[in-house]
Amino acid sequence: MRLALISPKGVAMGTNEENKNTAEIYRRLNGIDSLKELMNCPNSPLLTIAALAEKYFDEIVYIDEEIENIQWDKYYDMVAMSFMTQQASRAFELAGRFKEKGTYLVCGGMHPTNSTEETLQYFDTVFRGEAEKTWFAFMEDFSKQSPKRIYENKYEIDMEDVPIPRYDLLKMDSYRTIPIQISRGCPHDCEFCASTKVYGPKYRHKSVEKVLTEIEAVKKLKSNPHIYFTDDNMLVNKNFSLRLLDELKGGGIRWMTHTDVSVADHEEILNKLFASGCRKIVIGFESVVPESLRSLEKWKYNRLSTYAEAIRKIQSYGVGVWGTFIVGLDNDDTSVFQRVIDFTLENNLYGAMISVPTPFPGSRFFSRLESDGRILSKHWGSYTLWNVVMKPAKMTVNELQNGFEHTLTQIYSEEATYKRMEYFKQIYSSIRRR
């Protein structure tokens, strides 16, 4: 049997007007190579499925629509997709075409888990949550020609049982960055987040030895790789983080990850990050408007007054901070745009990921906006975090879209980019002297 693992296209899947507008915004931005590193990345859950599936199939291929086209003249007995909401419209379109060829269709990931009934209209089987155990139950049923429509994980997956992803299936030269998942689960409970429905709130991590084994698997295929540890909150466990950072030192990789602002409290971790190869961390600041932040997550609200000092401290160790911010929340008026611009530039953030409020299925935010009749579109290809798909509370749709674009172009103006470069040159010079 032949299995195709497909990551559907998620870029430029909105309306024609949205796609044209996004392309124009990108054209005007300076210094966004690091942003491209985050966006140009393989689908690691599918590579994990490949490792689980290898004993059942004669041939397995991985197809990433962001870098290659599907060859429709080839037949696959089964097609498996994993996708987020912005990929869902394309995934449903692909499913229709494969259905015509008689292919059995399965899927999992964020959107299928959180919007199962909709997804079942297009796929034969949907996996809800983690699939390390349910995949084997499915294959047993499939071999008996009696597969179920839904397989839902009921177990807490031990990260030591997660197989090494099939990195050998990747067209390595097509990627700037290779993903490795160290842990699952995040202790925070942000209203807009849908990932806890897949991974839950409990933080679970692989052993240091297992992580090193996966890194070596990547290094055999790509020299001096840039690694993206895709965890929601990688550095939340201090003792584990310290052991891992010690082992990564001198390992010949550069890496980035997500964590929360509390990492600034831990001098021991900060002292080890640069030497371990870490050059960037993504921190979800979410908002600089107190009322807005309090409505999202109280833990972050209580840390708001520490944001500026935390950024300065982390970056003084040679690690750039990518801050994420949402503009247009219910307590935001049009002053939010300049407030985010000023905060980003005054604190010399290495980068900023600006987004508009997006009600992903499975989040409390989606449920609330759906109940209030404020969701303007369910064309999932528009859910890129850059298109306004909900009715704002204190501004118009146009004010939000225009303010968002203004915020991005100011943060990534030629002048602001030059200022950032000069700031980090001074930091790196200081590190070399030390």
User: Do residues 357 and 365 make contact, with C-beta atoms less than 8 angstroms apart?
Assistant: yes
- Whole-prediction pTM value? 0.92
User: Do residues 314 and 424 make contact, with C-beta atoms less than 8 angstroms apart?
Assistant: no
Distance CA 212, CA 201 (A): 25
Q: Is 236 left (phi over 0), alpha (psi -120 to 50) or beta?
A: alpha
Confidence of residue 189 (pLDDT cuts 50, 70, 90): low
User: Do residues 31 and 345 make contact, with C-beta atoms less than 8 angstroms apart?
Assistant: no
Helix (H) or strand (E) holding 43: none
Domains, the chain, with CATH or none: 2-11+43-152 (3.40.50.280)
pLDDT digits (tens, 9 = 90+) for 44-103: 999 999 999 999 999 999 999 999 999 999 999 999 999 999 999 999 999 999 999 999
Q: What secondary structure letter does DSSP report for 11?
A: T
Structure tokens at 379: 């064309």
Dihedral sign (CA 253, 254, 256, 259): positive
Distance CA 35, CA 58 (A): 37
Q: Give the C-alpha distances (Å, rounded to integers) separating 83 from 33, 95, 111, 198, 262.
A: 24, 12, 6, 12, 30
Rg (CA), the chain: 22
- pLDDT of 194 strictly over 70: no
Dihedral sign (CA 174, 176, 181, 184): negative
Average pLDDT over residues 321-329: 97
Angle among Cα 170, 138, 195 to the nearest 5 degrees reads 60
DSSP sequence for 162-199: SPPP-GGGS-GGG-S-EEE--EE--S---TT--THHHH
Helix (H) or strand (E) holding 134: helix 134-143
Distance CA 52, CA 295 (A): 41
Scored b (16 or more CB within 10 A) or e, 344-374 reads bbebbbbbbbbbbbbbbbbbebbeebeeeeb
Widest Cα–Cα separation across the chain? 67
Average pLDDT over residues 272-299: 95
- pLDDT of 399 strictly over 80: yes
User: Do residues 328 and 356 make contact, with C-beta atoms less than 8 angstroms apart?
Assistant: yes
- pLDDT of 191 strictly over 70: no
User: Do residues 8 and 91 make contact, with C-beta atoms less than 8 angstroms apart?
Assistant: yes
pLDDT of residue 323: 96
pLDDT of residue 195: 66
